[in-house]
């Protein structure tokens, strides 16, 4: 890592004001995703908790992020890592109490960090009071109308109502003892809510106000594109299992898939925006919507959520031309919608980018995980080098960046978790074909050794691999060139350099190189080619790997001051 004078990078007049009152604080914020059960365990039960997060907030402040987003911490059976919520307005007792949440939020705010919570409106847990009521109340009842219950097909109703498939594998319908079926786009323990039911809408308004009143600054909206479905009778079959996946959206005229990205879903978010705007500063939100670009940014319009995750970037691989096209398109889409762009390389659902970016193009991540990360073998050092370059590229882009816990340590995917420890429902639901997402959810290493590498005193709910301590915060803190120090420096510099929300590409670059200027002060160059290239003009502010005799080696990003 190379860091030189930062004196010339004093804040400009248009540097975003990240103080608590700026209504646009999120537009270019860096948001750190905490997966609570894997972050830090204060009570030694092997499961991360809210007090653990509070104790470690100084790590986030020192890193220089603007906000933290917490994946669900609500009471849950953990059938899907907490995305199966029993009660939207409480804390899982294993993770703490509402008082612990308030203490965590107060400490975050004291440190200048905003707090974003995860909202899961597409489905509840099957343990939610409403679902228990629905089962007890029987067919045709008002309680069943909050969910999507239907009679089955076949002579005795023994066949599911449609051929819709669950994202996690198998039919999206589950039969209950009285013979009816209910819809679950995810696990059977996650029954889908019926958003045509006014009680459902009203209850989520109450939940939003509940957390806004507790001081949360924003929401991440889970599966935002699936809430509203075409439930008119008769329900339509799709005709082929793969048409149930978001990847098939391109095969449908916009808004015509029976359960993804229907036009009417936007009414829900326009309604929520009215609530967000009653607070000062207005609350913000980001949609998790696996929908192609121009349709995706509709969720981010100013009268809706403000932002939507840009998964095309995450799926763009390590290819200069492809990434440039995705970046240009994403910025144009965001601009057209009046939103700010978003970038993300890792999260709790995908293979960590320190491993993913060196999988040969076309590798099926599920097959790779099934091989225990051995076919093909991945060069960890090459992966880390590429990940660092990708991160500096991401952090130079206009808009906001979402960073997933542990990527600041350069953590690779733990691809060789033994199958008997897997917790992700995907493993069972696919009949042991897909191992699922546990490999990116392994509890964080904080110290070089000791029980669970400082995660807690009582072990870790997923086993950490030997040598994990080498990635720990303790091992990297203050160490020049470490990934942790690279992130810290990059975030500090970025905050000073930010100016406007546009970039200007240079076309006069060698093949496989991306180069753009942010305003007239800051230039980013990434070498995605296999050969060393000359550096353009500019003062080196930071580079993701040591420069090669003043030239830019493969898989390296450099930030230049102009």
| Residue 193 or 497 having the CB closest to ligand GLC | 193
CA atoms within 13 A on the CB side of 411: 31
**Taking the complex as a whole, how short is the minimal distance between the CB of residue 127 and ligand GLC, in angstroms?**
15
288 catalytic? Reply is yes
424 phi/psi in degrees, rounded to 5:
-65, 130
- When asked if residue 77 is in the footprint of ligand GLC (CB under 6 A), the reply is no
The sign of the torsion formed by the CA atoms of 312, 313, 316, 321 equals positive
Relative to beta strand 30-34, strand 400-404 is parallel
- When asked if residue 224 is in the footprint of ligand GLC (CB under 6 A), the reply is no
- When asked if residue 222 is in the footprint of ligand GLC (CB under 6 A), the reply is yes
Find out whether the peptide bond into 301 is cis, omega within 30 degrees of 0: no
Other residues' Cβ atoms within 10 Å of the Cβ of residue 429: 19
CA–CA distance, 361 with 315 (Å, rounded to integer): 11
407 catalytic? Reply is no
Tokens, residue 519: 């305003």
Determine what percent of the chain falls in helix, strand and coil, rounding each to the nearest 5: 30, 15, 55
| Residue 40 or 223 having the CB closest to ligand GLC | 223
Q: What angle do CA 33, 495, 23 make, to 5 degrees?
A: 70
Are the beta carbons of 316 and 390 closer than 8 angstroms? no
**Taking the complex as a whole, how short is the minimal distance between the CB of residue 9 and ligand GLC, in angstroms?**
36
| Residue 18 or 345 having the CB closest to ligand GLC | 345
- When asked if residue 182 is in the footprint of ligand GLC (CB under 6 A), the reply is no
| Residue 120 or 524 having the CB closest to ligand GLC | 120
CA distances 89 to 67, 428, 436, 493, Å, are 21, 30, 28, 38
Neighbouring residues of 561: CB distance < 8 A, sequence distance ≥ 6 = 8, 9, 521, 522, 523, 538, 539, 541
| Residues touching ligand GLC, count (CB under 6 A) | 9
Tokens, residue 368: 């790779």
| Residue 146 or 518 having the CB closest to ligand GLC | 146
In the three-class reduction of DSSP (H, G, I as helix; E, B as strand; rest coil), residue 286 is classed as strand
- When asked if residue 499 is in the footprint of ligand GLC (CB under 6 A), the reply is no
- When asked if residue 186 is in the footprint of ligand GLC (CB under 6 A), the reply is yes
- Report the residue from 50, 60, 216, 223 that binds ligand GLC according to the rule CB under 6 A: 223
Residue nearest to ligand GLC (CB): 83
- When asked if residue 74 is in the footprint of ligand GLC (CB under 6 A), the reply is no
Q: Which ranges in 157-264 belong to alpha helices (H)? A: 198-213
**Taking the complex as a whole, how short is the minimal distance between the CB of residue 290 and ligand GLC, in angstroms?**
8
Strand partners, 483: none
- Report the residue from 43, 45, 349, 428 that binds ligand GLC according to the rule CB under 6 A: 349
Q: Which ranges in 73-197 belong to alpha helices (H)? A: 98-110, 129-137
- When asked if residue 35 is in the footprint of ligand GLC (CB under 6 A), the reply is no
- Report the residue from 69, 73, 74, 83 that binds ligand GLC according to the rule CB under 6 A: 83
Site for ligand GLC in 95-124 (CB under 6 A): 120
Given 49, 163, 192, 288, which residue is catalytic? 288
Give the position of tokens 């609570």: 36
- Report the residue from 66, 80, 246, 333 that binds ligand GLC according to the rule CB under 6 A: 80
**Taking the complex as a whole, how short is the minimal distance between the CB of residue 276 and ligand GLC, in angstroms?**
21
Given 217, 222, 424, 501, which residue is catalytic? 222
Q: Report the Cα–Cα distance between both ends of the chain, in Å, rounded.
A: 19
- When asked if residue 86 is in the footprint of ligand GLC (CB under 6 A), the reply is no
**Taking the complex as a whole, how short is the minimal distance between the CB of residue 428 and ligand GLC, in angstroms?**
14
**Taking the complex as a whole, how short is the minimal distance between the CB of residue 529 and ligand GLC, in angstroms?**
34
| Residue 200 or 320 having the CB closest to ligand GLC | 200
In the shown chain, the binding pattern of residues 440 to 469 toward ligand GLC, with x for contact by CB under 6 A and - for none, equals ------------------------------
Tokens, residue 464: 């950490």
Residues labelled catalytic? 222, 288
Q: By the criterion CB under 6 A, which residues form the site for ligand GLC?
A: 80, 83, 120, 186, 222-223, 288, 348-349
């Amino acid at each position: 890592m190379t860091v030189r004078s930062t004196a010339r990078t004093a804040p400009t007049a248009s540097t975003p004001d990240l103080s608590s009152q700026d209504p646009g604080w999120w537009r270019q914020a860096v948001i750190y995703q905490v997966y609570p059960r894997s972050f830090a365990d204060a009570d030694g039960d092997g499961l991360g908790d809210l007090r653990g997060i509070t104790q470690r907030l100084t790590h986030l402040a020192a890193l220089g992020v603007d906000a933290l987003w917490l994946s669900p911490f609500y009471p849950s059976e953990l059938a899907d890592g907490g995305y199966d919520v029993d009660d939207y307005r409480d804390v899982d007792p294993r993770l703490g109490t509402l008082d612990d949440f308030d203490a965590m939020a107060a400490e975050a705010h004291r440190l200048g960090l905003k707090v974003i919570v995860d909202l899961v409106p597409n489905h509840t847990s099957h343990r939610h009071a409403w679902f228990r009521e629905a089962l007890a109340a029987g067919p045709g009842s008002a309680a069943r109308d909050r969910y999507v219950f239907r009679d089955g097909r076949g002579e005795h109703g023994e066949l599911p109502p449609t051929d819709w498939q669950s994202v996690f594998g198998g039919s999206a319908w589950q039969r209950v003892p009285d013979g009816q079926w209910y819809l679950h786009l995810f696990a059977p323990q996650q029954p889908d809510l019926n958003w045509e039911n006014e009680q459902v809408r009203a209850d989520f308004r109450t939940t939003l106000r509940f957390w806004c009143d507790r001081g949360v600054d924003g929401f991440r909206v889970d599966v935002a594109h699936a809430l509203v479905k075409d439930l008119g009778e008769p329900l339509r079959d799709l005709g082929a299992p793969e048409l149930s996946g978001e990847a098939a959206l391109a095969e449908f005229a916009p808004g015509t898939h029976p359960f993804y990205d229907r036009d009417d879903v936007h009414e829900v978010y326009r309604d929520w925006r009215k609530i967000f705007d009653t607070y000062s500063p207005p609350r913000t939100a980001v949609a998790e919507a696996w929908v192609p670009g121009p349709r995706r940014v509709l969720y981010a319009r100013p009268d809706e959520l403000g932002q939507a995750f840009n998964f095309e970037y995450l799926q763009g691989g390590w290819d200069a031309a492809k990434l440039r096209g995705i970046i240009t398109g994403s910025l144009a889409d965001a601009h057209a919608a009046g939103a700010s762009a978003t970038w993300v390389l890792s999260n709790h659902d995908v293979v960590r980018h320190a491993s993913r970016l060196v999988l040969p193009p076309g590798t099926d991540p599920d097959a790779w995980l099934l091989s225990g990360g051995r076919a093909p073998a991945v060069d960890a050092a090459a992966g880390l080098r590429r990940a660092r370059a990708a991160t500096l590229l991401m952090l130079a882009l206009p808009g906001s960046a979402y960073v997933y816990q542990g990527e600041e340590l350069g953590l690779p995917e733990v691809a060789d978790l033994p199958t008997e420890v897997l917790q992700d429902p995907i493993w069972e639901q696919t009949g042991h074909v897909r191992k699922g997402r546990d490999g990116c959810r392994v509890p964080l290493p904080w110290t070089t050794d000791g029980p669970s590498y400082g995660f807690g005193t009582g072990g870790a709910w997923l086993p950490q691999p030997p040598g994990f301590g080498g990635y720990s915060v303790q091992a990297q803190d203050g160490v020049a060139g470490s990934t942790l120090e690279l992130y810290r420096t990059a975030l500090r510099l970025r905050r000073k350099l930010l100016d406007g929300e546009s970039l200007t590409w240079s076309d006069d670059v060698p093949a496989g190189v991306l180069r753009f200027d942010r305003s007239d002060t800051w230039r980013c160059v990434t070498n995605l080619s296999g050969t060393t290239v000359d550096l353009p003009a500019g003062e080196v502010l930071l580079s993701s790997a040591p420069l090669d005799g003043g030239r830019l080696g493969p898989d390296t990003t450099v930030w230049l001051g102009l």
